[in-house]
Structure 1
Amino acid sequence: MSGSSTQPPDPTGLGDMNDIIFVSLGMIVMDEIRFPDGKVLSHVPGGSGLYSTLGARLAVTDVTNSGRVGCLALAGSDFPVSVVDTLKSWGITLCLQQADDRLSTRGLLQYQGTNFKDRVFSYTTAPLQPTPADLTNRIPLLRSVAFHLLASPQDFELSAQQLQAIRHADGVLTKPLLAWEPAPASCRSSFRDEHLKAAKLAHIYSPNHTELLAVFHDVEEPSLVFDRDTIQDIALQLLESGVGPDGQGAVVVRCEEHGSFAVSKAYTGRWFPAFYSGNSSKVVDATGAGNAFLGGATAKLAEGAGLTEAVIMGTVAASFAIEQIGLPERAGEGKGETWNGVGVLSRIEAYRAKMEKNY
């Protein structure tokens, strides 16, 4: 299948150049990472909120507009100053909400083999989960063009309703673009009807391929055989059921080293290659890659780009997330800004060249 650029689902007004374009309601998690050889890394920043914000920040290639990316950080008394300094260095609009009587969200990530996909995660403190209520009276963030949510179908529906009500109460009458990343625990066939119902509120419905199959293809364990046709068929069936307001939303399936598939009723389905092949030595740890992808893609749509440009940006954002454990290293200012020593625009051009070669 092939596709051409198309405008994103219309959130009834993209706002002006001074508006925030992206806010995640995901968490910032401080991880302890344990490796099979006994090595332990402590205080590694992660979480869907942090990595999706990274992706959105990478998408703002004109760094003079980096403040258009918002970040709501719920922190405990032990939240590292170094993470605050990192976020401030990105030039984003940071809203730090610190609870002195709580500990920050912390997790334990245990790798069980040389393959970084074999891992077990658990929270070691009570999670501080942002909700739309945390945006009350925080006008810059509340007015965001787009929001990213990692949630179960029920929580996504509730958050979508609460967000709209709180915006109306503060005089924000436009409807935001909502990017829904389904929580992995809710990706089971028993939740199929709930996914179909909630997807009608999402401008972007974006599971990864194993999650998609688990919900809609009765697959309890990831298949060893990757089948594009099956993924395409399910995505098209989803569109027929209805995705987004008035059925104008997009399905974007993130497929790790296999790339991604994007489709909407206005956009013929298209496959995009991954930036790195599965056996590339540049791939260190895929943790956070899907979040970064969705943050980059959503921010690009919020700027008014079409789905092709959004997925290109998402793919490039993910490529920076997987080159190391933790966050990529930012250096330089203005047009000289680099991440891991590479400019975002130059990596986008490299990816376009790969697309031309592969398709």
Structure 2
Amino acid sequence: MGDIIFVSLGMIVIDEIRFPDGKILYDVPGGSGLYSTLGARLAVADATNRIGCLVLAGRDFPASVVNTLKGWDITLRLQQADDRLSTRGLLQYQGINFKDRVFKYTTTPLQPTPTDFINHPLLLRSSAFHFLASPHDLKVSIPVLRALRHNNVAPAQHLLVWEPAPASCHSKFRDEHLRAARLVDVYSPNHSELLAVFGSLNTLPFSFDSKTIQDLALQLLHSGIGPTGQGAVVIRCGEHGSLAVSNSYPARWFPAFYDGSSSKVVDATGAGNSFLGALTVKLAQGADLTAAVIMGTVAASLAIEQIGLPERVDESETETWNGFNVQSRVEEYRAKLERDINVSRVR
């Protein structure tokens, strides 16, 4: 087995999902840690055990979720606390098409931190880490992670991708965001979070404006991403696609795999996390931002085709998710990008 190339410090949450018609689903796995791990797993065609996953579980953690993760053939570490309950949440869908939803935790969340890797040195040596954290928690965690890696003789070089915690995305924390972004290689809020950080969510109803998003992304970039200023800003914009930019990569917009009216879009939960897991893995493997965003877009497309996780089938050495081969979908998306470029040239 090669070295681990991805670990998330996001949470794995066990959801109860309630629908407007009264239907209830129990023990549905979710959370940023799970969906980013899904995205990372989708981005790896072979050597899947190079994807690491730390599960902080309580005494009630469902065996079905453990079996699902084992079925992904990843390097799984289950850290169970028999005196605690697992992280659980209540997700209530309202209105049509599940676009309106309300979430709350129903148990005390078990949030992974770098110290949880002390007993898992294999994961600690990962070449890339995904964080979902507030600026404060990120600034606390990164020095701890570096010290632990140093003590375990892990390579000094490692990729850090930061997904800001939604609750921390407010203009009163803007300066903290800008300072924390200098600690990571990729800073990736979604477009609503970006607008909230810069105090630009004042107009209702919300109207998506790509120019405003790009202008704010450039402000972030110019304030400095990464210790040497060579990091990237990636803004995830849901049905509007994504924007990637760095000092060596001119701002580029990528369309979503599905447009907002597609009947294939069932539930957008976890799409952004899956996008970042896949993007992180590709960057850790040395890919450029274009290839990384393409894989992220494909991973997000597979996360939104159903409630919960996509279905994996492995037959005759050919793996499919929801009946699709990941690489075939990557090629389909690349062809879409090429068509869009050609249309732009004609115009």
* Common topology (TM > 0.5): yes
1:226 counterpart = 2:191? no
Aligned CA RMSD, in angstroms, stands at 1.3
Alpha-carbon distance in structure 2 between the residues aligned to 1:297 and 1:333:
26
- For structure 2, which runs of at least 5 residues remain unmatched after alignment? 342-347
Change (3 A) 1:177 1:155: same
> Is residue 188–residue 218 contact of structure 1 (8 Å, CA) maintained in 2?
no
Greater relative CO, 1 or 2 (CA 8 Å, sep 6+):
1
Give the secondary structure class of the aligned counterpart of 1:274: coil
Change (3 A) 1:320 1:221: farther
| Cα shift readout 1:300-319 (whole Å, capped 9, x = no counterpart) | 10111111000000000000
**1:326 matched to which residue of 2?**
308
> Is residue 137–residue 170 contact of structure 1 (8 Å, CA) maintained in 2?
no
1:34 counterpart = 2:18? yes
Give the secondary structure class of the aligned counterpart of 1:270: strand
Aligned partner of 2:234: which letter?
A: V
1:46 counterpart = 2:30? yes
Q: Cα distance, 1:91 vs. partner?
A: 0.7
**1:142 matched to which residue of 2?**
124
> Which of 283, 287, 311 pairs up with 1:305?
287
Alpha-carbon distance in structure 1 between the residues aligned to 2:51 and 2:227:
24
> Is residue 130–residue 277 contact of structure 2 (8 Å, CA) maintained in 1?
yes
Alpha-carbon distance in structure 1 between the residues aligned to 2:298 and 2:125:
27
Alpha-carbon distance in structure 1 between the residues aligned to 2:13 and 2:203:
27
Alpha-carbon distance in structure 1 between the residues aligned to 2:236 and 2:316:
31
- For structure 1, which runs of at least 5 residues remain unmatched after alignment? 1-16
Alpha-carbon distance in structure 2 between the residues aligned to 1:313 and 1:221:
33
How do residues 235-250 of structure 1 correspond to structure 2 at under 5 angstroms? 235-250=217-232
Q: Cα distance, 1:105 vs. partner?
A: 0.5
1:284 counterpart = 2:252? no
1:97 counterpart = 2:79? yes
TM-score by length of 2: 0.96
**2:344 matched to which residue of 1?**
none
Aligned partner of 2:122: which letter?
A: P
> Is residue 77–residue 98 contact of structure 1 (8 Å, CA) maintained in 2?
yes
Percent of counterpart pairs with the same letter?
70
Q: Cα distance, 1:127 vs. partner?
A: 0.6
TM-score by length of 1: 0.93
Alpha-carbon distance in structure 2 between the residues aligned to 1:137 and 1:94:
13
Aligned partner of 2:29: which letter?
A: P
**1:128 matched to which residue of 2?**
110
Runs of 4+ with deviation above 3 angstroms: 220-223
Q: Cα distance, 1:358 vs. partner?
A: 2.0
> Is residue 97–residue 266 contact of structure 2 (8 Å, CA) maintained in 1?
no
Alpha-carbon distance in structure 2 between the residues aligned to 1:240 and 1:305:
23
> Is residue 170–residue 199 contact of structure 2 (8 Å, CA) maintained in 1?
no
> Is residue 273–residue 358 contact of structure 1 (8 Å, CA) maintained in 2?
no
